[in-house]
Amino acid sequence: MVGRLEDSELIVRKLGATVYRLYAATSYIDRRDQPRTVADLPRHDAVLHRGAAGRSEWELLGPRGRQTVTASGALSGDSHQFVLDAVVSGHGIGLVPEQLVAHSASSASTLVNVLPKFVSMGALQSLVSPSRHLPKRVTLARDFLAEHLLGG
């Protein structure tokens, strides 16, 4: 799971961390110019991950600490791959996991890291039911991922 867990009885185990960065296609930057500060972001089209009513709060860490900005845009999806594809296609700025961008052949030459001094952090988590009958293979897979993603 990536993101915040609502009130739940599920057992959560942290597996690792994800770094998100702001990306836009060069075609979008050519059309709209590149934002220079976090304060410029609301004037740009955003491609949102799980946005509500065309809006999302982006919490960014930068040289002056934590800053929150309300991003808005016409496109929103519940898949990071959808967000990346829409950003690569020039539909706006997206907050995308850097690992996804690094592993995407289509994004290498077409994307710009919009505000390179700013990141957003997310946790990778395993969620399991509190059942006593958790299959051993699930426990082994979770433990393997935790060891290799967290380094121990």
Q: Are 135 and 143 a contacting pair, CB within 8 Å?
A: no
pLDDT tens-digit series, residues 121-147: 987 777 777 777 778 888 888 788 877
Q: How confident is the model at residue 104 (pLDDT cuts 50, 70, 90)?
A: confident
Span 64-91, mean pLDDT? 95
Q: pTM for this one?
A: 0.80
pLDDT tens-digit series, residues 33-55: 999 999 999 999 999 998 888 89
Distance of CA 60 to the CA centre of its chain: 11
Say whether pLDDT at 108 is over 70.
Answer: no
Measured CA to CA, the distance from residue 88 to residue 42 in angstroms comes to 20
Output the DSSP codes for 80-97.
Answer: HHHHHHHHHTTS-EEEEE
User: Please, what are the domains in the chain?
Assistant: 17-122 (3.40.190.290)
